[in-house]
Chain A
Amino acid sequence: MSPEIAPLALHEQFANPNQQRETASFGMWIFIISEMMLFGGLFVAFTVYRMYYPQAFDDGSAGMDIVLGSINTAVLICSSFTMALAVYSAEVGSRKLVSAFLVLTMIIGAVFLAIKFTEYYKHFLDHKAPAVWFDSAGPGGPKIELFYVFYFIMTGLHALHMIVGIGLLMATLIRNLAGQITAAYYTPIEVAGLYWHFIDIIWVFLYGIFYISGLHK
């Protein structure tokens, strides 16, 4: 049974636990804003080329696997749900549930990655992997390749963030097992949750620009 209130590891630089809590949360928000600028730069570049080459980019998007993409989106939204449940469990002091939901979130995250890498492999087999094997024979070839370049860079960067996120959840799990996350102080998991949700939201936008935009074809 976990104690109701565990001793808080107050870091030296903070005057009181409240300050530590607020600062940690605030810090993660600033980080998320910087990440928005990171992905934002790529979204802007993509949008510029979409405006230049609407047909080629529509063709590129039409060649994506909408089924796998939609499944992946659902998968990731589920993982955000389990993550939210993990944070809630921490709020109410259920250490076991926290571990369970964290593990579940990590597994679902791994499923997302597995589907993603399957998609990459399929693109490779379809000769749609820029630089590695890309057939630009069709109309507007090099411009469609540009679509795929952005696809691989942006979803690749997202996947990298997912991997880091899973690592972060692992670290949070370890802290939870060590009893450092309690109802009195659950900021670490709250902060990890913020990161996880952010990565999810980024994916939703990626899904929109890569999978949905060419659907009308």
Chain B
Amino acid sequence: MRSDILQSGPASSISGEYEWFFWTMVTVCTLVALGIAIVLVYSMIRFHRKRENQMGSQRQLNIPLEVSWTAIPFFAFIGMFAYGAKLYFDIERPPDNAIPIYVVGKQWMWKLQHPGGQREINELHVPINQPVKLTMTSQDVIHSFYVPSFRIKQDVLPDRYTSIWFEATRPGKYHLFCAEYCGTKHSGMIGWVYAMEPHDYQAWLSDGGAEGSLASMGQKWFHQFACANCHHFDSAGRCPDLRNLFGKPVELSTGETVVADEGYIRESILDPRAKIVNGFQDIMPSFKGQISEEQVIDLISFIKAIGPQSNIEQHTSPGSVPQEYGNQKGIAGPGTVSISGSKPETR
């Protein structure tokens, strides 16, 4: 299959911009370096001492020259900065329709979870021409997720989420490296990213995900860890209603307002005392040590699924415990195939 062929060369949507900038810099720098080298070598030959007691010209100041070779590099550097910053913004800002994939790095392997529940170790299958956003955390030390061909890299930190996005443009097999030294098998923490044609990707998806989508797994944990006992789906409980929460601002007891993103949900589960929602008591126990990073990701997916963009009225009624999602729109139940051919699960 074509995606088994190890591809060299850049293969993502930003690599065009990247290569253009990189090679322009190479050209400009080479020209300047060559210029200096030529002046140096020429001088060393042309102005070689003819007599042992010869003295050189005593010219030592030329203000216009000094100003020129200060100003020209300065403005060139500003240009480089501007271009680099623009490229960086493009690399750091994922488009809204990116497929959310979760990555957990640990010594010395990468664990990846697709929204439909497919799990991979040291491998990532993605479709071409579709943005993919990786939300990542580490179980231990700092790692770094690096796919050279996509021109992306992002450190993966313990106890928080970092993210990076890419859009593969060419089917193929691409190196995945850990790029932040993390101990003995740092050079073994490597793998492959397989970019596939959309139909190949669908076929691959249907082979996996037997356990069910991340959101349905998250729903399972929501019951299993008894979250449902406090977090009722109404406004009357002791605990905040988690519907329509994801991505929205939350007012805290300190008066500060934060956005309920992945990091906030994770912190709320593992260190609930860090932020108390205004109007509620500090009574949630911590689940640190009882719940794995993957389970946290499943729960986050569930919270997203009952978030603002989904149709949650069908799934919840006041005061009730949410039922199995089954065939509800957009979310797959256990044992069923995930994502249909239409737009992927939104965040």
Task: Determine direct contact between A and B, CB below 8 Å.
Answer: yes
Q: Does B159 sit at the interface, judged by CB under 8 A?
A: no
A147 nearest CB across to chain B (Å)? 15
In the bound complex, residues from chain A placing their C-beta under 8 Å from that of B17 are none
Q: Does B92 sit at the interface, judged by CB under 8 A?
A: no
Contact with A along B277-289 (1 / 0, CB 8 A): 0000010000000
In the bound complex, residues from chain A placing their C-beta under 8 Å from that of B273 are 139-140
A145 to B306, CA, bound (A): 38
Query: Chain A interface (Cβ within 8 Å of chain B)?
Result: 54, 139-140
A-B contact pairs, 4 of them (CB 8 A): A54-B254, A139-B273, A139-B282, A140-B273
In the bound complex, residues from chain A placing their C-beta under 8 Å from that of B282 are 139
In the bound complex, residues from chain B placing their C-beta under 8 Å from that of A54 are 254
Q: How many contacts between A and B, using CB within 8 angstroms?
A: 4
Interface of A is mostly: loop
A161 to B86, CA, bound (A): 49
In the bound complex, residues from chain B placing their C-beta under 8 Å from that of A140 are 273
The 4 closest A-B pairs by CB, nearest first: A139-B273, A140-B273, A139-B282, A54-B254
Contact with A along B248-262 (1 / 0, CB 8 A): 000000100000000
A142 to B95, CA, bound (A): 38
B80 nearest CB across to chain A (Å)? 31
A54 to B253, CA, bound (A): 13
A216 nearest CB across to chain B (Å)? 15
A139 to B274, CA, bound (A): 10
A140 to B272, CA, bound (A): 10
B255 nearest CB across to chain A (Å)? 12
Tell me the nearest residue of chain B to A55, going by C-beta. B254
A139 to B254, CA, bound (A): 16
A140 to B275, CA, bound (A): 11
A140 to B254, CA, bound (A): 15
A136 nearest CB across to chain B (Å)? 12
A140 to B282, CA, bound (A): 11
A48 nearest CB across to chain B (Å)? 15
A51 nearest CB across to chain B (Å)? 12
B291 nearest CB across to chain A (Å)? 18
In the bound complex, residues from chain A placing their C-beta under 8 Å from that of B254 are 54
A101 to B44, CA, bound (A): 68
B175 nearest CB across to chain A (Å)? 36
A201 to B273, CA, bound (A): 36
B259 nearest CB across to chain A (Å)? 18
Interface hits, B271-326 → A, CB 8 Å: 273, 282
A54 to B273, CA, bound (A): 13
Tell me the nearest residue of chain A to B282, going by C-beta. A139
A139 to B285, CA, bound (A): 11
B256 nearest CB across to chain A (Å)? 10
A178 nearest CB across to chain B (Å)? 54
In the bound complex, residues from chain B placing their C-beta under 8 Å from that of A139 are 273, 282
A137 nearest CB across to chain B (Å)? 13
A2 to B282, CA, bound (A): 72
Interface hits, B137-176 → A, CB 8 Å: none
A54 to B254, CA, bound (A): 10
